Amino acid sequence: MNQVEETMSYVYKNPNAPIEDRIKDLVSRMTLQEKVGQMTQIELCVATLDDVRNLSIGTLFTFFCSTIIDPCSFRASTPPTFKLYIWSMVSGGGKEPLEKAMASDWAETIDRFQQAAVDSRLGIPLAYGIDAVHGNNRFYGATIFPHNIGLGATGDADLAQRIGAAVALEVRASGIHFNFAPCVAVCRDPRWGRCYESFSEDTNIVRKMTSIITGLQGQPPVGHSKGYPFVAGRYNVIACAKHFVGDGGTEKGINEGNTISSYDELESIHMAPYLDCLYKGVSTVMASYSSWNGCKLHAHHFLLTEILKGKLGFKGFLISDWKALDRLSEPRGSNYRRCVYTAINAGIDMVMVPYRYKQFIEDLISLVESGEIQMTRIDDAVERILRVKFVAGLFEYPFSDRSLLDTIGCKLHRELAREAVRKSLVLLKNGKNPGKPFLPLEKNAERVLIAGTHANNLGYQCGGWTRYWQGSSGRITTGTTILDAFREVMGEKTEVIYEKYPSPNTLSGQNFSFAIVGVGEEPYAESAGDNSELVIPLNGSELISTIADRIPTLVILISGRPLVIEPWLLEKMDALVAAWLPGTEGRGITDVVFGDYEFEGRLPMTWFRTTEELPINKGDNSCDPLFPLGFGLTYKKENLQSK
């Protein structure tokens, strides 16, 4: 028997065999250690080539970690006394990337780990994951799209699908197969630090925008079985619907908090988008850090197993969040064996460890050998993980496709991001007097003042999850700021004066046609963004007031959620635009404010008057919001909410 014939005798290696037959064959050949390895996902910074080659590590990820990782460096290690079989890796959050590491460097790194996996006993390929939540946002030069709240303001399902396809290309270009996106949380309280990761407070809007999954993974064929994972091909990625379930409904908007509701309310508000995800063939689902009525989701057998896998028919795999098992005990990380027992029996299939993988593997093997976790539970998890890898074509095409490298930050994707920006802008005020609109602006104005903390700060414009977990300030990547965009568009004879904080002499001594003031939130992510006050940071209100007292002023608010706008301040503004967190393409803003395109955005969140009203959502009759859900003016003076 030659090598080809021998390979084809292994059903799991035959690309023409039915996927379920391949799964059954491969599982039958695996040891317990290899099965447990499939369930283990570790961070790149602790991964070694020896672990992958000799110990069969197979799932990695990259988060945004706290120290620099050189993607071109590789470490070898002495194998421990017991065997590890880990088939997943991840790049996570906290570690700075090298300032301008190329995607080709990352592709080379991942390919080397992939080669080690392919050279292991069974040759099961790696699935490498990353949080590309609004573009391949970890990498310098990638296209950064508006965060989900901005996409929710567009209400454009086709746009979301096209963005998903573009993101998939830029992710695959760097050798990565697995994207921990989209977040399909229904944010019911803007105090939540992840509000901008939600498309809307309205379940129907969130359901509509799950079309991004068909962009990331591809469009399933007619008749595709609901709940069965689907990935169209090598230009697509494994998507992940997160965070199951109710993470946007926690009490007081506290991240990782407690959602108090009946099951019917949980199902109708927070679970409904997952039905759409399953119909679209989403391959993975991530459990939430949060709790439902006091029980943590990572320990919730009823919701994870009986509902998601049983009632809803999900056939992909369920992955934990970062170090989520550590959060199942107090103090965090204590009694780890019990945490492993609880989460795996609840229905978690793959665990984002990310560092304690040796202890995790030891504990899980011990729990199986003692009978505390049944082998059927392990086999179920492994079958689900392998199903996704087979569906994604990783066995046939495990390595990166360098022909895709030119897609990263390409003109076509940046034009798509620019389109998304202009469609996401919500016009909240246009003129102080009825019948006398302030916008559109005049491109050939004589003298213009551009000011504010966010007028020339690309990092602020992109928000969190951009290059770094919490985001950062300044020119953190390539793109166009608000100031850049205005300078490109204004007439040759227009004098554009930029001062972040204009001096009294500037404000009093020159005859400005108008002022553009960019203010808003500093970048943040997750719990660091929890905010009970929601005032405009960095003295934004005072800056607006000072300038608007002297110069006709357009305020561009850069934020991941509605913020407090006092009535007296709103009166001073001549125009107000909610630009959300638009990303790298500032020209999308000038496209609209100069009248080349119409305002199309509608509020995806109710804009409260005071934080004492919160939470406030559509249908609440106890409060009168500043602007209701769906509000948005146009140049035709229409309120889009009435359409």
Which residues form the catalytic set? Answer: 321, 526
81-98 burial by CB neighbour count: b if 16+ within 10 A, else e? eebbbbbbbbbbbebebe
**∠369-373-375 over CA atoms, to 5°?**
75
Q: What are phi and psi of 424, to 5 degrees?
A: -90, -20
Helix (H, G, I), strand (E, B) or coil at 145: coil
Residue 198 tokens, joined: 């939600």
**Where does residue 371 rank: exposed (0-12), middle (13-18), buried (19+ CB within 10 A)?**
exposed
Q: Tokens 């896998």 label which residue?
A: 309
d(C-alpha 374, C-alpha 303), whole Å: 20
Q: List the beta bridge partners of residue 585.
A: 480
Q: φ and ψ at 535, to 5 degrees?
A: -80, 160
Which residues are bridge partners to 183 per DSSP?
242
What 3-state DSSP class applies to 585?
strand
569: tokens are 């301040």
The 8-class DSSP code of residue 117 comes to H
The structure tokens 């906290």 sit at: 94
Q: Tokens 């209701």 — which residue?
A: 628
Q: Rounded to whole angstroms, how far apart are CA atoms 525 and 197?
A: 9
Other C-beta atoms lying within 10 Å of the C-beta of residue 221? 9
Cross-strand partners of 622 = none
- For residue 158 the two structure tokens come to 């086709």
Return the SS3 of 518: strand
Give the integer Cα–Cα distance in Å for 10 and 26: 8
Element (H, E) at 548: helix 540-548
Q: What are phi and psi of 414, to 5 degrees?
A: -70, -35
Give the residues across from 317 on adjacent strands: 284
The overall longest dimension of the chain from CA atoms, in Å, is 90
- Structure-block tokens of residue 276: 């759409």
Peptide bond into 177 cis (omega under 30): no
> Which residues on adjacent β-strands are paired with residue 61?
90, 129
